[in-house]
Amino acid sequence: MAIEVNGKTIATTDNGYLENYADWDEDVARKLAEIEGIELTDKHWDVIKYLREEYINNAQNQPMERVVLKDMGKLWGSKPTSKDLYTLFPLAPTKQGTKIAGLPAVMRKGGY
């Protein structure tokens, strides 16, 4: 499969994840979010950039939800709840957020 962004064809897996995370940019994120039915806000971008930073700069770490909550709380100055993250990414913050961040699918217990 593939998506078209700014005249470029970008390869995706059958599940809609980018085949190469280096193909990602903010326009690609907007397209992936559109496909997912999500309108990106500043809080979405915070999570997306955090997930990319963790993956790229921390040995391909894909943090679990509770770690994302803790780190977003530090960034936002108030502790978010799981419900807050699911409001941003209804199909699971680490799953849907990772997809929009252009990262590989999370492959750990719990069906992620």
Mind listing the pLDDT tens digit for each residue in 9-28? Answer: 999 999 999 999 999 999 99
3-state helix, strand, coil in the chain (%, to 5): 50, 10, 40
- Please give the share of the chain, as a percent, with pLDDT higher than 90: 90
Per-residue confidence (pLDDT) for residue 106, from 0 to 100? 87
pTM for the full model?
0.92
Angle at 13 between CA 72 and CA 52, to 5 degrees: 25
In 37-64, which residue ranges form alpha helices assigned H by DSSP? 42-57
The letter for the amino acid at 13 is: T
Nearest-angstrom CA–CA distance, 33 and 90 = 12
